[in-house]
Amino acid sequence: MTKTTAVAIPVPQRRFLYKNYKDEHMTLPSMALGSNRLDLVDDLVSKYLASGPATGLSRRSVQLLLPLVHDAIHVDNSAFIAKLMQRGFEVKHFFREAVEKHALRCLTLFLETGYDINQPECDMKPPVWTRTTVDSPITFWLIARGANLNAHAPYHIFTPMSFAAQYAQAGLVHAYLTDPRGLVDIGTGDLLQYALDRKADVLPVLSMLLDHGAPINEGLFARHLASQNMFFFMPRGPPLHKAAEKGQLDAVRLLLDRHADVTIRDTKGKTALFYAEKEGHREVAEVLRQAMEAAKVQHL
C-alpha cells in the first residue's frame, strides 16, 4: 500500500460572526454555535421542531436550520454539524463549500459518514471538487482520501484532470502527471483539447501531456460513446483541428512536430486545414498546407 505523505494546508483564521437571525428559533442555535455550546444543540433543535406544525407548507424541519451549516463550515465546527446530522440533517450538498473553505474537519466528517467523493455533481458535471485542482494542497489532501482525477459524469467525459489541464499552473499539471501513485489516466478526459484553451503555458503543458502518452490523433470524445451521442451535432476532431481553428500557430507546429496526422478528417469530414482557412488564419493554413503536401509525397 502506498504511503501517503502528509500535506500541510494553510487554513485561514476563522472568526465566528454572530448573526442576529430574524427567526428567533435560529438565534439560539446560532448563539450556541458561536460559544461552542454543543450541549445546547439537541435541546434547541427539539424546541425548534416542536414550535410548528409537523406537516404543511409551514412545517418545521431540521433542514430549515440550513443557514447555521454555512456558519459551522465557516468556522470548521464539525462537532456542531455532527449534532445536526444526528437529528436527520442532510449535508451532502455542503461538500463543495467545505472544500472551498478548507474546512478539513467538516470534510473528514462528511467522508466518514459516507459521502462519495467521486460522485458526479449531475449527469453532465464531474465531482464538485473539480475546480480545486488548481489548488495543490487541498487537492492532494482529497486524493489521499480517495479523490480520482479521472472521475467524470455519465454523459460528459470532462474530468478534474481536464480542468487542471486548462486552468492549473504548469508545475501543478506536471506534479499530477509524475506522481508515483499514477494519478492520471492520460487517455481519459481529452486533456490535449483542454490544454489548448489555456491562457498561458500552452506549449509546455501540451509537451508534458504528449510526453506522458496523450493520444495526439484521437478525436474529441473518441473514447466515450455517451459523450459522442450527447454532442452528436459538434464537429469532433483531434487537437490539431482545434489548434488550427483557434489560430494557434506555435501549437500547430508543435503538434505536427510530435507527429499529428494532418490528413485526418473530423466527424464532419473536414481537415485541420479547412478550419484554418475558414477562420482566416493564413500562417496556420500555410503551415498545414505544406504538411499536407509532405504527407502526400510520403504516400506516393
44-53, 125-134, 185-194, 288-297 — which is least confidently predicted? 44-53
Least confident of 18-27, 213-222, 257-266: 18-27
CATH 1.25.40.20 assigned to 237-299: yes
pTM for this entry:
0.85
Give domain limits for the chain: 29-115, 119-234, 237-299
Q: How much is the average pLDDT of 80-99? A: 84
Closest C-alpha among 213, 133, 210 to residue 167: 133
Task: Please give the CATH number for the structural domain made up of 119-234.
Answer: 1.25.40.20
Q: Distance between CA 29 and CA 14 in Å, rounded?
A: 19
Q: What is the pLDDT of residues 254-268, one digit of tens each?
A: 999 999 999 999 999
CA distance 76 to 78: 6
With contact defined as beta carbons under 8 Å apart, do 261 and 273 qualify? no
Q: Measured between alpha carbons, how far is 46 from 34 in angstroms, rounded to an integer?
A: 19
* Single-letter amino acid, residue 280: G
